[in-house]
Structure 1
Amino acid sequence: MTTGAGAGVCEAPDVSVVVAVYNTMPYLTRCLDSLVEQTIGQRRMEVLLVDDGSTDGSTEEIQRYAARHPGLFTTLRQPNSGGPAAPSNRGLEVAGGRYVFFLGADDHLAPEALERMVTMADNCGSDVLLCKMVPVGDRTVPTGVFTRTAPAIRLVGDGLPWALSNTKLFRRSLIEEHGIRYDETMPAFSDQPFVLEACVRASRISVLADQPHYFAVRRADSSNITYRAGPLTRLRCTERLFEATCRLLAPGPLRDAFHRRHFHVEVCQLFGPDFAALPPEERQAVCTGAARLISAYGDGVLERLDPPRRRTLELARRGEAEALAGRPAEAGPLRTLRHSALARWLRTPVRPLPRHPDTDPLDPRGTHPVRGADAVGG
């Protein structure tokens, strides 16, 4: 079902905002308010609200805003697909703007965000433009890539690998020229291959970082889809991230930089707060899957991780699921240990490696992406 009053508009809007919605009340109200308040004006933008089978009142909230602002909001409803990929693709199918921007239904924008992004993209000839994100609640956002406004940044070396969420402005002609779409078989992390391909194809990637533009919200109930996805689902989707990187980048420093990011974030998070509570057979399956990734993609990459994460992945490589279950939730200084042999091994100093200008361009501290970039996954 589609409703809206944008069909009679002859001139294409400057920007189409796609919002994939699934049970996001009460955060959705602030999200929609922020779109109504955009200074770019309703004649220069369109908002495509794709309701992925919500059951919590989000549908009614969408209908209420569409009725109050019929020239701004177009609504589409479909059965629940299990992830943000399908509703995001549905929005792309009907988008008519010169640019497209993806906004999380939990999140909201500063009033001048879209106007300033479109202006900079037009002035710089940007195919992809990142706007400065700030966290709301216990949400982690990238910081390294937002140290300065830049007309052009590199694929690696300016923090981009740590900022792979889809909360960016994309030139829609680039997306359509290359047929870039979300992988609907990925319940989590589906935005990362989409963003990576767009950035690889882009002639220019820009950053607007002089003030906060995007407010990333961590729900109080932690029900964003990346947090709901089980470890085996996240493991399967992480495998697809490595496959996408290999498909889009030739072997070498660029590919290694993105692989390092995947090990640092998604793979290590498999052994995070909930790992010890998993059934033993599931813990072992996660270890086996992580070991498979380490064997396939770890050469020349793992040694550039920080020591705690290297030790975590070494345990996973050796299949020591029970040892990992006995360590603290986060990969960091150990506070309690159940295995004295493991304790002695973890205390063994790890020789720091020299920094490599291409494959190790970032200090990961303070540059972590939105946890699970698909936080609808951040």
Structure 2
Amino acid sequence: MTEQGPDVSVVIAVHDTMPYLTDCLESLVGQSIERRRMEVVAVDDGSTDGSTEELARYAAAYPGLFRTVRQPASGGPAKPTNRGTELARGRYLLYLGADDWLGPEALERMVDAADRWNSDVLIPKQVGEHGRIVPQGIFDRTAEQVGFTDSALAWALGDTKLFRRDLVTNHGLRRREDLVIHSDQPFTLGALLHARKVSVLADYDYYHLVLRQDRSNVTHRAGPIDRLRGFTAAHEVLDRGTLPGPARDAVRARYFSWDVPQLLQPPFLAEPPAMQRRIVQEIGRFTERHCSPAVFRTLPVPARLRLALARRGELHALCDLIAWERDHGEPPAVRRRSRLYADYPMFRDRHLGLPDALFETGRAPRPDGWRRLVPAPLRRARRALKRRLRAARRDGLAAALRGAR
């Protein structure tokens, strides 16, 4: 710890996270960084499962390392995280989930790299535990500086990062406390857009994200409407902080290729009809406002279909699509002239009248062998002639059968 304070403050929002909290705290007392260079600020958000007592036990066992405060339950992680940020004294802030844990060398390696590179935001390699899925695209290499257009930064909008505290305080970055979930995404996006340098460390398993056995993590139990409110808040930050262009499109493409379509998967079919209608309406409005034609064209076919049906309010067709994918998986490809299309049952359905472009997957491979030597018009004429000959044979056989009678 310097005269100004520790090098890094680990901020933890705690609400009923036993027994996972113990592993989290144990990983902090086992850090290789000198104790004087770190502090842990834990805000107990009205826990009732023994988390309060566990925090007190560690604070007593390691005086000077832990600072703990307790407040009434707020209903989400935003308020306790804001409180912890206000109390933190470190040059850097690391936000750690109370059910997650750090590798033993994590803090020392992160602070040293951020100081060496003068990073405002540093993204440490994260891995999932007990089946937790963590996108790995951003961690393909260690990089002193990355951006939205040259890396998978758009897929790394959680707050599980090292932030320079001056960046957070100088720009007044806070979690929106009215958001039940995803309050970290607009916060992190704001930090990334204001940062002079964003770095990535991919040389060590720094941050271990845990999926609870009962899947009670807030990210797994929140409903679609709450998620959409979080997405909307992130896009408001994006609109304020960027101009139309590649960086904005990279973030939009992440949300519309993954986050929003995930709300229209098989669990959607179990929602009451009134809630289904509301979800579809909200997704339709969100897509209309934020998904540009340029971004829409880059999306995979399943995402394009879901968003298009939501914008049109086609609830029954949307449910049919979700159920069909659940039962059959990925559709086969069908060739129409030089293009390939996903052969969903609704492809060229006259009632729905969806444009072929929604189903298009790309250009069909060029013909092999002798067919490559024959011009395309002749190949089409040959196929048409073969169809007419087959029809004539069928008609002739039918006439012969009628004469036999």
Task: State the match for 2:360 in structure 1.
Answer: 350
Q: Secondary structure at the match of 1:302?
A: helix
Check if 1:313 corresponds to 2:307.
yes
Structure 1 counterpart of 2:184, from 184, 188, 191: 191
Task: State the match for 1:172 in structure 2.
Answer: 165
**How far apart in 2 are the matches of 1:107 and 1:322?**
40
The alpha-carbon distance between structure 1 residues 81 and 166, as it changes in their structure 2 partners (threshold 3 A), is same
What is the root-mean-square deviation in Å for CA atoms of aligned residues? 2.3
The alpha-carbon distance between structure 1 residues 289 and 48, as it changes in their structure 2 partners (threshold 3 A), is same
Q: What residue ranges of structure 1 are gaps of 5+ in the alignment?
A: 1-5, 354-378
CA offsets per residue over residues 312-356 of structure 1, 9 Å max, x none? 21221221223333444797894499xxx9723299741439xxx
> Structure 1 counterpart of 2:113, which letter?
M
TM-score, scaled relative to structure 2? 0.80
The alpha-carbon distance between structure 1 residues 239 and 257, as it changes in their structure 2 partners (threshold 3 A), is same
The answer as to whether partners of 2:185 and 2:230 remain within 8 angstroms in 1 is no
**How far apart in 2 are the matches of 1:191 and 1:328?**
29
Task: Give aligned-pair identity as a percent.
Answer: 49
Structure 2 counterpart of 1:324, from 297, 318, 332: 318
The alpha-carbon distance between structure 1 residues 166 and 214, as it changes in their structure 2 partners (threshold 3 A), is same
CA offsets per residue over residues 217-261 of structure 1, 9 Å max, x none? 111111111222122222222222222211111122211111111
The answer as to whether partners of 2:110 and 2:162 remain within 8 angstroms in 1 is yes
**How far apart in 2 are the matches of 1:159 and 1:280?**
37
Structure 1 counterpart of 2:284, from 279, 285, 291: 291
| Deviation at residue 41 of structure 1 after TM alignment | 2.1
Q: Secondary structure at the match of 1:345?
A: coil
Q: What residue ranges of structure 2 are gaps of 5+ in the alignment?
A: 332-342, 350-355, 364-405
> Structure 2 counterpart of 1:345, which letter?
F
Larger radius of gyration: 2
CA offsets per residue over residues 194-220 of structure 1, 9 Å max, x none? 111111111111111012111111111
Check if 1:87 corresponds to 2:80.
yes
**How far apart in 2 are the matches of 1:91 and 1:28?**
17
| Deviation at residue 266 of structure 1 after TM alignment | 2.4
Number of positions where the alignment pairs a residue of Structure 1 with one of Structure 2: 343
**How far apart in 2 are the matches of 1:271 and 1:215?**
28
The answer as to whether partners of 2:5 and 2:90 remain within 8 angstroms in 1 is yes
**How far apart in 1 are the matches of 2:190 and 2:113?**
22
Greater relative contact order, per chain length (Cα 8 Å cut-off, separation 6+)? 1
TM-score, scaled relative to structure 1? 0.86
**How far apart in 2 are the matches of 1:251 and 1:235?**
22
Check if 1:232 corresponds to 2:242.
no
**How far apart in 1 are the matches of 2:52 and 2:284?**
43
Q: Which segments of structure 1 move beyond 6 Å, counting only runs of 4 or more?
A: 329-333
**More helix by proportion, 1 or 2?**
2
Task: State the match for 1:371 in structure 2.
Answer: none
CA offsets per residue over residues 253-312 of structure 1, 9 Å max, x none? 211111111112321121124211000010010000110011111222121111111112
> Structure 2 counterpart of 1:314, which letter?
A
